[in-house]
Amino acid sequence: MQSEENSHNHIHDDHEALIVEDDAGNLEGQIIIDALQSVLIARGLLTAPEVAKAIEKLESPGIHQGAGIVARAWTDAEYKDRLLENGKQAIGDIGIAVGEAQIIVVENTPQTHNLITCTLCSCYPRSILGQPPSWYISKAYRARAVREPRRVLAEFGTVLPDDMELVVHDSNADMRYLVLPEPPANLADLATSELEALVTRDRLIGVTR
Amino acid sequence: MTRIDHAGRRFRDGDPVRVIHLGKSGHVRIPFYVRGKRGEVVRYCGSYLNPEDLAIGDTGGPVVDLYRVKFAQRELWPGDDQPEGDSLVIEIYDHWLEASGHQEARA
């Protein structure tokens, strides 16, 4: 995942620190969590295997699931219609367990580009894509994605023509969002695995096209 | 049809609306940048427990209608030079909305 994290070419230096480590390499948050877990286990409120299972559940979703959804929509028009109509239902139909109340899939076209953010916190379709990238959680991205979205996109290397409509989606409440990118021109020549390989996390958020 | 419907809801797709300033504090999900702004309902999302209640442990309801509302970027940031066609869509709970005639002069 690390190489994917760094695959786009904007500068990451000014992002907020998510992890605070002391000189001995201890993570402040980890020390607090470990202490809390010890207390909860000692009180019989929690078991270590339950914690491990919860972590596994959090970490098992990933971009591959989003790629599978997009490749299916690119190659099956009837599925695409259902996906745009009721994202949660259509994604559940291909065997992905969606934990969010609803998934709204927004379609990029030659005339329209969609960008996803969450200004109030870090809402993201986690049950499908896993955890969001650190920049998605940063206050700078959250504020700027609604205030100057075209400048943010340009920093990701995505320069939209002036006559293309940009729609920013703020995931502020109960819905979660996925962007359906445009299919490649040579769609018919590509196998499903090749199509899935074209679908990156950044395209699913809409910071790239 | 799989699209959620609720016959008693106040707004329909295409209805012009305005986000009102409720003087509420706490776990409010309506950011300041849309307050007082005029937009258009684009999708009804169903009804959900109010996060303002949930945040203080009140899980008894009632549920409130939730709408996706679209705003022109120029309405949100009138001093900026953003393209006319650019827009933003955000979810607004029913009690934060009032009907708005778009023919009214904009402040």
- Give the structural domain span for B41: 16-99
Question: Rounded to a whole number, what is the distance in Å from the CA of B53 to chain A's nearest CA?
Answer: 13
> Quick one: closest CA in B to A81, which residue?
B2
Q: What is the pLDDT of residue A9?
A: 52
pLDDT at position A200 over 80: yes
Q: What is the pLDDT of residue A98?
A: 94
Give the type of residue at A145. A
Whether B66 and A82 lie within 8 Å, measured CB to CB: no
Q: Is A122 part of the annotated catalytic residue set? A: yes
Cα–Cα distance measured from residue A122 to residue B90, given in angstroms and rounded to the nearest whole number? 14
pLDDT at position A1 over 50: no
Residue B84: inside a domain: yes
How much is the average pLDDT of A181-203? Answer: 97
Work out how many domains chain B is built from and give that number: 1
Nearest to B66 among A146, A147, A173 (CB): A173
Residue B34: inside a domain: yes
Q: What is the pLDDT of residue A208?
A: 97
Residue B52: inside a domain: yes
Cα B53 versus chain centre, distance = 18
Domains of chain A from N-terminus onward: 2-59 (no CATH), 63-205 (3.90.330.10)
Whether A173 and B91 lie within 8 Å, measured CB to CB: yes
Q: Where are the alpha helices (DSSP H) in A107-148?
A: 126-129, 134-137, 139-147
Closest CA to A160 of B76, B88, B80, B83: B83
Cα–Cα distance measured from residue A50 to residue A97, given in angstroms and rounded to the nearest whole number? 20
Closest CA to A156 of A108, A110, A98, A208: A208
Q: Is A118 part of the annotated catalytic residue set? A: yes
Contacts of A167 in chain B (CB under 8 A): 70, 86-89
Instruction: Verify cis geometry, omega within 30 degrees of 0, for the bond prior to B62.
Output: yes
Residue B21: inside a domain: yes
Assign B42 to helix, strand or coil. Answer: strand
Q: What is the pTM of this model?
A: 0.84
pLDDT at position A128 over 90: yes
Its ipTM equals: 0.91
| CATH code of the domain containing B37 | 2.30.30.50
